[in-house]
Amino acid sequence: MEEWKSENPPALTFDKFIRTARLLSPMKDFELDEQEIEFRKHPLLDYWCRINLGRSLRVKQAHAPSDYDDTIQEVIKRTHEKCFFCPENLETTTPKFPPEVAPEGRLRKGKFVLLPNLFPFAEHHAVGVLSEDHFLGLNEITKELLEDSFKVSVAYFDRIFKLNNEMKFCSINMNYMPPAGASIVHPHVQITSDIKGSGKLLEILYKSKEYHKAHGTNYWIDLVGTEKWLKERFIGTSGAVSWLTNYAPMGKNEVIGIVTRPISHFRAFDETLISDFSEGLSKIFTGLWEKRHVRSLNLTIYSGPIDVDVSEYFRVHVKLISRPVLRPFYTGDTAFMENFYAEPIIETAPEDVASDLHSIW
């Protein structure tokens, strides 16, 4: 295991510049209002994001809006009866794997059930039902539920790879609740096994390799070391996983968990790492739920190709961003800057998110 000494000076530098927008604000009797916009560059991926720190200060008081509680209760009630993933319906209404993948039909461990996605967008695209409960708050997704889901997912990747050793690009993902794109309320994960890596993953792998070539060190380990040193965005560790917020986030409340052991893909996961990963992730879920009032999110775990060890320059890492709260009338959270310019507008300082999550660690 690579230990990080916090006395090591930061290996990374973070680029930013600040510009000031000036306006005569009706909220200040048309006095001059100056607002700082901080442009931050991602240290590996080169993209920029923009943070209006004034906005971030205002958003700190954000709570789940009062109409959330009524809406969520109504949605849970309405979707419960005919839910495919609830135990009374699962056997008869969800698909089974073909015999070459799983003669037993579906893969199970504890309360976790893995089955094929009815409408796949990958050659091997499975859905994992996390629990028998139709709805779980993020703070109710326990370490044990996550552990079972990771164990079965890793075993699934292994089965598919043994069937076809071209299936080397694997991912574990979660869309939690409809504002994050989930069509089913019942908590679930989506896992894919593909012949081709997605564009963003390939970019991350390429940039990580270039960084290693240029500096002779591993970007992911340098990032963990730098953030531990700076103590501005570092949240904590769970065994061999370090949790922090992203200097230049892609989305709201963004958190990253980085495996510090030399492990670059899912097939190298062992029980200890699965335990470390699940422990940290369940804490992050709880922190986001309780301290940041997150009620929906997207999550992905980036893995290198499972047929080769590239831990010299890459480490498995998970990334989470929050999505809007479920409510009848809503404002979307991505707009022209995110969708057409890939330059996210961030309203919450990553340092504030880290501080809130660190408080429960």
- Summarize as ranges the residues that interact with Zn ion (CB under 5 A): 83, 85-86, 134, 186
Measured CA to CA, the distance from residue 253 to residue 297 in angstroms comes to 9
Question: Nearest distance from residue 191's CB to Zn ion, in Å?
Answer: 19
Question: Nearest distance from residue 202's CB to Zn ion, in Å?
Answer: 35
Question: Nearest distance from residue 106's CB to Zn ion, in Å?
Answer: 16
Question: Nearest distance from residue 129's CB to Zn ion, in Å?
Answer: 8
In the bound state with Zn ion, the residue whose beta carbon lies nearer, of 50 and 108, is: 108
Measured CA to CA, the distance from residue 5 to residue 99 in angstroms comes to 50
In the bound state with Zn ion, the residue whose beta carbon lies nearer, of 145 and 160, is: 145
In the bound state with Zn ion, the residue whose beta carbon lies nearer, of 130 and 357, is: 130
In the bound state with Zn ion, the residue whose beta carbon lies nearer, of 174 and 349, is: 174
In the bound state with Zn ion, the residue whose beta carbon lies nearer, of 83 and 141, is: 83
In the bound state with Zn ion, the residue whose beta carbon lies nearer, of 59 and 75, is: 75
In the bound state with Zn ion, the residue whose beta carbon lies nearer, of 83 and 263, is: 83
Question: Nearest distance from residue 103's CB to Zn ion, in Å?
Answer: 26
Question: Nearest distance from residue 120's CB to Zn ion, in Å?
Answer: 20
Give residues with Cβ within 8 angstroms of 103, minimum separation 6: none
In the bound state with Zn ion, the residue whose beta carbon lies nearer, of 118 and 195, is: 118
Please state the three-class secondary structure of the chain as a single string. Answer: CCCCCCCCCCCCCCCEEEEEEEEEEHHHCCEEEEEEEEEEECCCCCCEEEEEHHHHHHHCCCCCCHHHHHHHHHHHHHHHCCCCCCHHHHHHHCCCCCCCCCCCCCEEECCEEEEECCCCCCCEEEEEECCCCCCCCHHHCCHHHHHHHHHHHHHHHHHHHHHCCCCCEEEEEEEECHHHCCCCCCCEEEEEEECCCCHHHHHHHHHHHHHHHHHCCCHHHHHHHHHHHHCCCEEEEECCEEEEECCCCCCEEEEEEEECCCCCCHHHCCHHHHHHHHHHHHHHHHHHHHHCCCCCEEEEEECCCCCCCCCCCCCCEEEEEECCCCCCCCCCCCCHHHHHHCCCEECCCHHHHHHHHHCCC
Question: Nearest distance from residue 171's CB to Zn ion, in Å?
Answer: 24
In the bound state with Zn ion, the residue whose beta carbon lies nearer, of 89 and 355, is: 89
Give the residue nearest to Zn ion (CB): 83
Give residues with Cβ within 8 angstroms of 248, minimum separation 6: 14, 40, 41, 42, 43, 47, 48, 49
Contact (Cβ atoms closer than 8 angstroms) between residue 137 and residue 265:
no
Question: Nearest distance from residue 114's CB to Zn ion, in Å?
Answer: 16
Question: Nearest distance from residue 79's CB to Zn ion, in Å?
Answer: 7
